[in-house]
Amino acid sequence: MKNLIPAIVILMSTLSVSQTLSAPQAITDPKQISSKSNAAVEKNLSIEKLYMTRVIGGTTWSPDGKQIAFITNITGRNKLWIVPAEGGWPVQLTISDQRQAAPAWSPDGKWIAYMSDYDGDEQWDIFLVSPKTGQVVNLTNTREIAEEIPTWSPDGRYLAYNVKPKTSSVFEIDIYDTVQREVKQHERAQREQHHRGHGLAGAQLQAHVLPDQRRDRPTHTATARRTQRRRARRTPAS
């Protein structure tokens, strides 16, 4: 028994040494990298099909619950589409060379607000499009200011959105009055960029008034000029 114990220890040590693995050498030549081919995958999933992969982005329900507007790049670029809530073939609502995002259906169902930039520069404008006629209105039209994430008030009169000038590092909030067709309120939220989202603009909308039936065709007005005139009247002459 005394001679058996040293033999077991020697055997275990030998097995431990033999099972020690050397560190793998780094592969620096791409030609040395290979993978097993799979005929079934190669047949059903080609490189061309991978490039045709499409995604669904932001969505918004119509007020009556019968339709859903959504963003998809099914045509190669993010566009706004509409599909029946019960299912069916979607219809493209916006047609342009630019991308769209963050759709928001108005409570009266007449307009869908969304944001769109120019050649991917992220200097977004807020647009409205009619889900019935496809008529598009650029509500803000400010190339040096980015307006993002439109959010409707419950009565549909006001549209809030995040605002950031091109040279600024913080977001503010504008609230557009679709009846007066001007910026009704200007909130200086002074939030950092990582706080942007639906909550920033949407939190400012607490109005609960009846929709104004005269609102048929909101159009962009010289909001910046009006704001400047109001501020000039408030500033005493030096």
Q: What is the pLDDT of residues 135-153, one digit of tens each?
A: 999 999 999 999 999 999 9
pLDDT at res. 4: 54
149 in a domain, yes or no?
yes
% of the chain exceeding 70 in pLDDT: 68
The answer, yes or no, to whether residue 195 has pLDDT greater than 50, is no
Which residue range(s) make up the domain with 51?
47-208+218-232
37 in a domain, yes or no?
no
213 in a domain, yes or no?
no
Mean of pLDDT values over 46-54: 76
Phi, psi of 115 (to 5 degrees): -115, 145
182 in a domain, yes or no?
yes
86 in a domain, yes or no?
yes
58 in a domain, yes or no?
yes
Instruction: State the CATH number of the domain containing residue 85.
Output: 2.120.10.30
8 in a domain, yes or no?
no
pLDDT digit string, tens, across residues 89-129: 999 999 989 999 999 999 999 999 999 999 999 999 999 99
pLDDT digit string, tens, across residues 21-31: 677 778 788 78
The answer, yes or no, to whether residue 64 has pLDDT greater than 90, is yes
Calpha distance 83→67 (Å, rounded):
6
Residues 161/126, Cβ–Cβ less than 8 Å? yes
Calpha distance 177→128 (Å, rounded):
14
Calpha distance 206→67 (Å, rounded):
26
pLDDT at res. 50: 74
Mean of pLDDT values over 8-21: 54
pLDDT at res. 8: 53
Specify which of 33-47, 108-122, 177-191 reaches the highest per-range mean pLDDT.
Answer: 108-122
pTM, rounded to two decimals: 0.62
Band of pLDDT at residue 14, cut at 50, 70 and 90: low
Instruction: Between 159 and 210, name the one with better pLDDT.
Output: 159
100 in a domain, yes or no?
yes
- Count of domains forming the chain: 1
Residue in 76, 170, 91 with CA at minimum distance from that of residue 133: 91
